[in-house]
Amino acid sequence: MSERRTQILEAAVRVIAQDGVRGLRIEKLAAAAEVSTALIYYHFKDRSGVLHAALEHINHRAQGYTDTAFTEIADPRTQVERMLLLELQDSDEVRETSIAWGELRASAVFNPDLREPLRNTTRAWNADVELLIRQAQDSGAVGPGVDADAAAVRLTALVEGLSERWHSGSISLDAARQLLTGAIALELRA
């Protein structure tokens, strides 16, 4: 990916996180990215193209910080917990990524064009968690009666909900992480 394109996408994530999807205007994005509007249209064609690329960029950002769960830990059960907890970190990148993701998800209610890419991204996340749960079942670290698919959906949905509550000040980060850890233990009972 070109440096300019990345610069624009980073600015798009910032603008979406700060002002929501409705607040994302090409002129505002150009100012935030310190580029011309023509360059944005060159790279993304239109606002919809920016939103789709921003969603993909957000997904790659999240993979970047959650992939450490796979490099540092060998046990699939622990990888599930670590990967999900990495979504609840007190860092600017994680916070911004999570808020922008929530904004894009919420706007898909009124923007059908975003539904399919969001659905695909969500399915991929669920599939990653499901695969780890199945691997943990094979190793005996997760009970054989656990429905891996359903557990993955519940856990990823919980991460999204806890993240939104944390970002909105409804609960603390520590409380969100404790609730998630407890839910993982219940879902993946051995």
pLDDT score for 99 = 96
Mean pLDDT within 87-107: 95
The answer to whether 186 and 172 are in contact (CB under 8 A) is no
Determine the Cα–Cα distance for residues 188 and 183; give it in Å rounded to an integer.
Answer: 8
Determine the Cα–Cα distance for residues 113 and 54; give it in Å rounded to an integer.
Answer: 14
pLDDT score for 126 = 96
Which of the 8 DSSP states describes residue 169? T
Q: Is the pLDDT of residue 72 over 80?
A: no
Mean pLDDT within 171-185: 97
Mean pLDDT within 69-84: 88
pLDDT bracket for residue 73 (50, 70, 90)? confident
The answer to whether 10 and 96 are in contact (CB under 8 A) is no
Q: Is the pLDDT of residue 56 over 70?
A: yes
CA count, 13 A, side-chain hemisphere, 80 = 31
Average pLDDT, the chain: 94
pLDDT score for 1 = 63
Q: Is the pLDDT of residue 15 over 90?
A: yes
CA-based nearest residue to 153, from 143, 164, 161: 161
Residues 134-152: pLDDT tens digits? Answer: 999 999 999 889 999 999 9
- Please name the residue ranges forming H helices in 86-147: 92-107, 112-139
pLDDT score for 68 = 80
